[in-house]
Amino acid sequence: MYRSHTCGELRKENIGEEVILSGWVQKLRNKGFMMWVDLRDRYGITQLIFDEERTSKEIMEQASQLGREYVVQIKGKVIERESKNPQLPTGDIEILVSEYEVLNASLTPPFTIENDTDGGEELRMKYRYLDIRRNPVKESLMFRHKVGMQVRNYLSNQGFIEIETPYLIKSTPEGARDFVVPSRMNEGQFYALPQSPQTFKQLLMVGGMDKYFQIVKCFRDEDLRADRQPEFTQIDCEMAFVEQEDILNTFEGLTKHLLKEIRGFEIDNFPRMTYAEAMRKYGNDKPDIRFGMEFTELNDLAKGKGFPIFDDQELVVGIAVPGAGAYTRKEIDNLVAWVKRPQIGANGLIWVKYNEDGSLKSSVDKFYSQEDLLSWAGLSGAKAGDLILVMSGETNKTRTQLSALRMHLATELGLRDPNVFAPLWVLDFPLLEWDEETNRYHAMHHPFTSPKPEDIKLLETNPGAVRANAYDLVLNGNEIGGGSIRIHDKATQAKMFDYLGFTPEEAKEQFGFLMNAFEFGAPPHGGVAFGFDRLVAILDGKETIRDYIAFPKNNNGRDVMIDAPAKLDEAQLRELHLEVKL
């Protein structure tokens, strides 16, 4: 037996017991005649004591050779600690060691195994097995497990069935790039790894499994932007015989359950907003509504007063920043510089200070009177002490820029409390989006999303205005889930493929099995998918997903710990009938 208790378990009540513990040496303090060792395992830390008077000389000598991260097993008696440590659950006791054995030695770790480590990102990824020993990473992984269990039990209790869909599927050209897998048995042919189980879950609906879910890995061979992974985990769900409202209610229920069970955070009905409203009010389809600073469109008030920068532009739009009226000139200049950076790309930023004395001072005093500025303040809800910031330009671009500024200011002002949760449904997404590169419309969600029946007539005349039965769940400014009601009849699906530029042959080759399935009684259905990695991080109040993934890859898609990907040897390539051409 390696242990009678864990290192997080012993309390005052155990005093006098003989125990066996195993774990890692977290810390040693040696006073010559006395020595203390903090012994650590997954469950906590227990202090061991060796002292000349009560410990054999042999053990004292051996133990003094211990190093950090050695694995040891000890036997000893639980005694009351002289100087208690209230920070530690085991802080009332310590173990007077009578026997001990080194189970394994350790080299000095390349970084400190402490909550705040001195190791850089790449080093910690290379030695991920050591990084996992640190509390923040360990706890992140345990938190992830807890969320996963809650999701599964909640959905299962609601009648959902978890069904595993295949990983070796067929490559489709839609959207991001597939990872492919050459088949040895089927020479010259390839499987693809799924970007999502989308078509399979729809086939399950055709198959009558009317409530499906799966926590499942998905794969995208994309150039990795920050905090993206080539393999990621999705909570994938689909329901049949449902309307959008049923789906929203079901997954609002799941999210409420998680917020309550995991974070003790209770919330009533989630607010809802159309895509158009989100863009108008926040310049963003995933607005962070933990704070205000909604957009105010100023076209009517600001145009036609001779200020050419506004007069010539499509949109003039501003936000009132609460309490920022006290910003110094330098602080405001910094904001102007911030929006002019290439990442944001704005031409400039107009500001209006609403002074505490009720007067207004702006960067455009030449063109606007106090009354003009006061009317801006009125419309934007600015009060004395606030700062109004205004941008102008092409509508979409300007909204995006002002949205970035809004988020930047919220961060600066400390308005983005990670332990406050503000969920939001964004509804009525456009069915199509214009792709500058290929010069045509693409499906915004995916080609299986149904248009709103009342908008179908617009497909020919104004495709960009067609709304879809598509929805996102936004939490604290992150899209944590999204889905749609699907097309379930063959004719509409064929029309959609046609519309998206597939020839009938291409549509048949790539999605023939789905079109076929729709011939045999497909029920109305729809679903949703949550980004599990992101959901877990946000629930835990964190910004990055990496600590919630046991073995993440770096931004080049490499696992630096195992050094993958790697070259194959020639024999392996030959067996796969492949040749590498660089």
Of the candidate spans 175-183, 265-273, 407-415, 450-458, the one that interacts with its own copies by CB under 8 A turns out to be 175-183
By the 8 A CB rule, do 409 and 324 touch?
Answer: yes
For 80, phi and psi rounded to 5 degrees? -75, 140
Interface with its own copies (CB under 8 A), residue from 164, 436, 437, 454: 164
Q: Are strands 231-240 and 211-219 parallel, antiparallel or unpaired?
A: antiparallel
**Residues 472-511 close enough to bind its own copies by CB under 8 A:** 488-489
Interface with its own copies (CB under 8 A), residue from 16, 414, 437, 582: 582
Q: Are strands 315-321 and 387-393 parallel, antiparallel or unpaired?
A: antiparallel
Q: Does 64 bind its own copies (CB under 8 A)?
A: no
CB of 524 to its own copies, least distance (A): 6
Annotated ligand binding at 489? The verdict is no
CB of 338 to its own copies, least distance (A): 32
Q: Does 24 bind its own copies (CB under 8 A)?
A: yes
CA–CA separation, 532 vs 218, rounded Å? 11
Q: Does 171 bind its own copies (CB under 8 A)?
A: yes
Q: x/- site string to its own copies, residues 40 to 59, per CB under 8 A?
A: xxx-----------------
Q: Would you say 159 or 414 has its CB closer to its own copies?
A: 159
Interface with its own copies (CB under 8 A), residue from 37, 443, 522, 538: 522
Of the candidate spans 44-52, 202-210, 410-418, 465-473, the one that interacts with its own copies by CB under 8 A turns out to be 202-210
Contacts of 257 (CB under 8 A, 6+ apart): 150, 154
Q: Does 95 bind its own copies (CB under 8 A)?
A: no
Q: Does 115 bind its own copies (CB under 8 A)?
A: no
By the 8 A CB rule, do 537 and 544 touch?
Answer: yes
CA–CA separation, 295 vs 313, rounded Å? 17
Q: Would you say 33 or 129 has its CB closer to its own copies?
A: 129
By the 8 A CB rule, do 34 and 52 touch?
Answer: yes
State the chain's maximal CA–CA distance in angstroms.
93
Annotated ligand binding at 220? The verdict is yes
Q: Does 515 bind its own copies (CB under 8 A)?
A: no
What's the burial of 177, exposed, middle or buried (CB within 10 Å: 0-12/13-18/19+)?
Answer: middle
Contacts of 179 (CB under 8 A, 6+ apart): 192, 193, 219, 220, 221, 230
Contacts of 371 (CB under 8 A, 6+ apart): none
Contacts of 170 (CB under 8 A, 6+ apart): 191, 192, 510
Report which of 207, 393, 390, 218 is spatially closest to residue 311, judged by C-alpha positions. Answer: 393
**Residues 301-360 close enough to bind its own copies by CB under 8 A:** none
Interface with its own copies (CB under 8 A), residue from 195, 233, 401, 450: 233
CA–CA separation, 493 vs 443, rounded Å? 12
CB of 315 to its own copies, least distance (A): 38
Q: Does 372 bind its own copies (CB under 8 A)?
A: no
Of the candidate spans 87-95, 227-235, 265-273, 412-420, the one that interacts with its own copies by CB under 8 A turns out to be 227-235
CA–CA separation, 52 vs 75, rounded Å? 17
Interface with its own copies (CB under 8 A), residue from 36, 111, 167, 327: 167
Of the candidate spans 89-97, 162-170, 279-287, 404-412, the one that interacts with its own copies by CB under 8 A turns out to be 162-170
Residues in contact with its own copies, total (CB under 8 A)?
122
**Residues 123-152 close enough to bind its own copies by CB under 8 A:** 127-133, 138, 141-142, 144-145, 148-149, 152
Return binding residues for ATP: 220-222, 229, 479, 531-534
Return binding residues for L-aspartate: 174, 220, 445, 486
